[in-house]
Structure 1
């Protein structure tokens, strides 16, 4: 299953995502220390996710016109070059402008990577292939989320910002070996894309929690505790995503939706103990496992019913729109709820989507 093209795409994606994750929680903290406080932290993540969503809507057109290689290169450039401007100022207008550009790069990169993976792997092993891709792009979150916060605390923000800008640019070397081909599409009898709403909404409910946790966990407790908790989450998510792909190819991905939601909701609720290391770290590990399971299960379900480029755009839109809504919305209501009640309410939002997860599309498992 691992071809040269798939390997090069994963290498390019890893460098881009490492640059992204180094700054995912660091930039909101950078904005907050620059004088804009919790509201500025939420706006930084929200602006980036809003830009990501808008870019994701345009990626199917970009792929159909220019192909995979050009799209991957554009995504890496937008992720890397603007980050190099951040050391110049922590003022909110600068942070927001850079976040908008980097968000567009993220949208192009993730939609292109997911669609190319779905095109390169055999249909009967798609869940496993997407799990392998998820495992590869999960490595940057394992290293980047906690390392970015730790390095900013120990070394200062400037070195982290510069390194995070250079890493995506290094991925351009791998992009030169990618196919310039355009996405594979079905003919007139192909998939119509019906039935995508339920798994998309299920996934979006969990990504709302992602946006809240990665933005506000360092502010709710301490950066050191947040680093440990995000490391636990970052280890659990890609592992669970890979396992879910193998399980889903044999038993059907729909069977994983309810367990994934329960784990994610419980893990979010445990963050209400904001300054207690055991529930915070254990909760983030539990949340990460549920999140990884749902990443693979919802994406595989949607790919059964739609073309890879379109499904990739919609799934990543649910991912990033949910994070943006979560970060921005939580920042706006935080003064009324506080962190403890706020985390509990986010967990409840995940739980209310369980009825949607019980709607199971037809699925034919692989022969044993």
Structure 2
């Protein structure tokens, strides 16, 4: 049974994100869905190989899964507007798990690829819907922590079920894993039924807003506002594709005796660090009242981590240094994930949170797939250390772009009614904003009603200034 949906005004009065109707159900549903995905992720390629299939077909099971995921993510925002979150997420959880029963009957090339594509459709719709829904359910002042908590549930699920699928498959057979994947996904579908009946807000045109013509900010293309956060995620996810694909083999090659035991542990440490630091970045963003504080530092931490991994493998240093590198890279990656998603939410109007979620997920998933492919070619030519070195170079490009975006952002014209503007309407957030005003000094006098609205001015422009009219909240 669905929870009762609250108005936006009622949501903003909630004292905690845990009081938001449907938020816990979303977390449990997402944890279960990612559990189903994690169980089967390493098992399906292995089952293909054990059945006599080629390594190309084994790799294609993941490739076609991700291709279907990305294509579905492009279409999901429209489905969320027309159909609603609950039906889309329930269908997505069903499609992610139940088709896995088809693996029981055959893992020959054509059937296994068709089933993988069907499951990719479910995964794509789910990943977009869950990130956007969190922004719809919780007060904006808790959005950072809520997004971070979503990462915690995803991370814990992956840490638990990734090794479990292989262990159960080895002991009891792969058929048991397929059945478990379907059952866990059905649990996710049932939890989705407890989510309030909501639809993503329709796209809004400038003419809907009650502003004089001379006070309206020019409309800005969405890609201009989300490009750099997207590339920040992609630069780290490309490198993560190499880490997840080649680090276990590199560890075993570096230390054949100890490496076999450490390979899986290091990947778990990477995921655990990502989970913890993603939540930490959300806490910082909520306290600051604005995302981006830890973005550049997180990118640098990820860079140092992957450089240490590359140097350790190249020079044959102690395998234990890889753990330090894994913590730095995983922690930096987790913080960048959250900062990028929150930045997109803050830069775009509330009516486009589903687009922000879709763009973020596409940047993440496409980056992981492209990184595995391209850096795999590099690894074939320059060994594993060369692949990680190339990954470090990609992160450097991401850092340069983020720094440039930070500078240009002081003069970026943005759209009204985004999350950052809405924070000024929340009493708790206003106190945080007042602290930001005190350190900006003379800049708070620069806002003039006839000037275009600048990103920083959304925080500093006083609502009572003559000629400034608070925009009506049409999304509530």
Which stretch of structure 1 is more off in the superposition, 335-344 or 214-223? 214-223
SS at match of 1:75: helix
1:302 paired to 2:344: yes
Residue 286 of structure 1 is matched in structure 2 by: 328
Residue 248 of structure 1 is matched in structure 2 by: 285
Shift of 1:173: 1.5
1:266-287 Cα deviation digits (max 9, x unpaired): 3334444569642333322222
SS at match of 1:105: helix
CA distance in 1, matches of 2:55, 2:105: 21
Residue 225 of structure 2 is matched in structure 1 by: 195
5 Å-filtered alignment, 1:129-278, equals 129-185=146-202, 187-189=204-206, 193=222, 194-221=224-251, 224-251=261-288, 252-272=290-310, 273=312, 277-278=319-320
The answer as to whether partners of 1:35 and 1:91 remain within 8 angstroms in 2 is: no
**CA, structure 1 residues 61+328, in 2 after alignment: closer, same or farther (shift >3 Å)?**
same
Question: Which of 345, 351, 355 is 2:396 aligned to?
Answer: 351
Which stretch of structure 1 is more off in the superposition, 134-143 or 268-277? 268-277
SS at match of 2:294: helix
CA distance in 1, matches of 2:319, 2:173: 25
TM-score by length of 2: 0.70
**CA, structure 1 residues 155+328, in 2 after alignment: closer, same or farther (shift >3 Å)?**
farther
**CA, structure 1 residues 147+221, in 2 after alignment: closer, same or farther (shift >3 Å)?**
farther
CA distance in 2, matches of 1:186, 1:354: 32
The answer as to whether partners of 1:49 and 1:103 remain within 8 angstroms in 2 is: yes
Shift of 1:17: 0.7
Residue 335 of structure 1 is matched in structure 2 by: 380
**CA, structure 1 residues 266+42, in 2 after alignment: closer, same or farther (shift >3 Å)?**
farther
Structure 1: gaps (5+ residues): none
Q: Which has the larger radius of gyration?
A: 2
Residue 38 of structure 2 is matched in structure 1 by: 21
**CA, structure 1 residues 95+225, in 2 after alignment: closer, same or farther (shift >3 Å)?**
farther
Shift of 1:177: 1.8
Which stretch of structure 1 is more off in the superposition, 101-110 or 246-255? 246-255
Q: How many aligned positions are there?
A: 368
Question: Which of 20, 26, 40 is 1:9 aligned to?
Answer: 26
Residue 320 of structure 1 is matched in structure 2 by: 365
CA distance in 2, matches of 1:284, 1:53: 27
More RCO (CA 8 Å, sep 6+):
1
Question: Which of 326, 351, 356 is 1:311 aligned to?
Answer: 356
The answer as to whether partners of 2:379 and 2:385 remain within 8 angstroms in 1 is: no
Residue 443 of structure 2 is matched in structure 1 by: none
Structure with greater proportional helix content: 1
The answer as to whether partners of 2:35 and 2:184 remain within 8 angstroms in 1 is: yes
CA distance in 1, matches of 2:300, 2:151: 21
The answer as to whether partners of 2:376 and 2:387 remain within 8 angstroms in 1 is: no
Residue 85 of structure 1 is matched in structure 2 by: 102
Shift of 1:247: 0.5
5 Å-filtered alignment, 1:63-142, equals 63-142=80-159
SS at match of 1:255: coil
- The alignment's C-alpha RMSD in Å is 2.7
Shift of 1:109: 0.6
Structure 2: gaps (5+ residues): 1-16, 210-218, 253-259, 411-419, 424-428, 436-476
CA distance in 2, matches of 1:233, 1:323: 15
CA distance in 1, matches of 2:277, 2:177: 29
Shift of 1:39: 4.3
CA distance in 2, matches of 1:31, 1:218: 20
CA distance in 1, matches of 2:172, 2:378: 33
SS at match of 1:4: coil
CA distance in 1, matches of 2:49, 2:301: 31
**CA, structure 1 residues 338+25, in 2 after alignment: closer, same or farther (shift >3 Å)?**
farther
CA distance in 1, matches of 2:47, 2:376: 16
The answer as to whether partners of 1:8 and 1:174 remain within 8 angstroms in 2 is: yes
